[in-house]
Amino acid sequence: MEHVMPIGIVYGSSTGNTKDVAVKLHEMLGGNLHDISEVDAETIGRYDKLVFATSTWGAGDLQDDWEVFLPNLDEMDFAGKRVAILGLGDQEHYPDAFADAMAILADKVERQGGLIVGLTPAEGYTYEKSRAVRNGRFLGLAVDEDSQSGCTDERLHGWAERLRREFA
């Protein structure tokens, strides 16, 4: 039987913002950091605690590298796994699809038997709608490096503390 690693942080980044935020989270939370364009399903499958980090593009699309990897998630069993979603978005330029990509990953993980953890309140943001909000909470942590970058470190710190408890 393979050893299950503590926490896997898996990110996809086109401009570098998601990578930068994932690196900050990694420094706070520990675990292992992986670029989705350089990892395989078997590696992800070894973790029982995961953070998936993605940005939202255009009208609610998943980041390119995640989009390429997405079919692999259909073949994975997430039963017994806890997955937190970190989603970058732009509330100012895309207020009607803010951080929507979080929902794409969360829905896939849940369909494959995983438990989404790390939900956060939707207050403190200025957007019109988001598929990533359910019952007044984001399906993880929403970060806006374009118009609220000053909030990122504080939000990440609080989220990392929450994930330590929820991953315990």
Question: What is the tens place of the pLDDT at every residue in 21-34?
Answer: 999 999 999 999 99
**Percent of the chain clearing pLDDT 70 (strictly above):** 97
In contact, 158 and 23? CB cutoff 8 Å: no
Whether the pLDDT of residue 1 is over 70: the answer is no
Across residues 126-141, what is the average pLDDT? Answer: 97
Q: Thinking of the domain 8-167, which architecture would CATH place it in? A: 3-Layer(aba) Sandwich (3.40)
Cα dihedral 148/154/155/161 (nearest 10): 170
**CA 1 to chain centroid:** 28
Q: Amino acid identity of 95?
A: P
**Average pLDDT of every residue of the chain:** 95
pLDDT > 90: percent of the chain: 95
Pick the closest to residue 155 from 94, 82, 99, 109 (CA basis): 99
Statement: residue 2 has pLDDT above 50 = no
Give me 166's structure tokens.
């929820």
C-alpha R_g of the chain: 14
Q: Write down the pLDDT at residue 5.
A: 67
Gap between the Cα atoms of 116 and 146, Å rounded: 26
